[in-house]
Amino acid sequence: MHDSRPQSLESLFDSVSGGNKGPLHDVQQRAIALLKLNRAVKGLLPSQLHPWCRVANYRQGHLILETANASWLMRLRYEQPTLLSALRAQILPSLASIDIRINPALAAKGDETVSGKDNFRAESGNSDTPPRQLSEQSAETLRHLASHSPEKLRKILERLASLAGEGTSKTSQQKK
């Protein structure tokens, strides 16, 4: 039977440092294996899926992938048969199935990764798209809407309207 009583951290670290294979060693080995599997899966997927997908777990022949939203889930399902056969042939011969789940937390991480690449392109001058701007007409519409809104929303709309004529790169720098 598994001992589920609380243990001190000292005893956990002592068992690892003593050459003994303790619970922390098992967790570390599992994490390393999942990271390697994640790298292998990303190597088999198209590059546009990389920021939006990751390996969540592998147990009893079932690989569990997480993705940011339903649109990326559909894209992964399209790649699923190819991924399944490639993983069986190269890494996991005992792989029975791939389960794909949505994890909204990946959307934020994927956005950071993608925006980081966009910021690099913008800073290096390789961006082909002009920066987006809020027109004066849109700003006037926002001001009109703000005059008929509750106070909290009014302040937000007025702040947004004040950005008319500025590029988005300036606004993203103000947020940071």
pLDDT digits (tens, 9 = 90+) for 104-158: 888 877 666 666 655 544 444 555 555 667 788 888 888 998 998 889 989 988 8
How do 53-59 and 62-67 pair as beta strands?
Answer: antiparallel
Is-contact 77 100, C-beta < 8 A? yes
pLDDT digits (tens, 9 = 90+) for 160-173: 888 877 654 444 44
Please enumerate, as own/partner, the contacts of 6-14 that have beta carbons within 8 Å and a separation of 24 or more. Answer: none
State the Cα–Cα distance between residues 145 and 154, nearest whole angstrom: 8
Give every CB contact of residue 117 below 8 A, 6+ residues apart in sequence.
Answer: none
State the chain's mean pLDDT as an integer: 80
Residue 121: what pLDDT?
47
Residue 62: what pLDDT?
95
Question: What percent of the chain has pLDDT above 90?
Answer: 40
Question: What percent of the chain has pLDDT above 70?
Answer: 71
pLDDT mean over 85-102 = 93
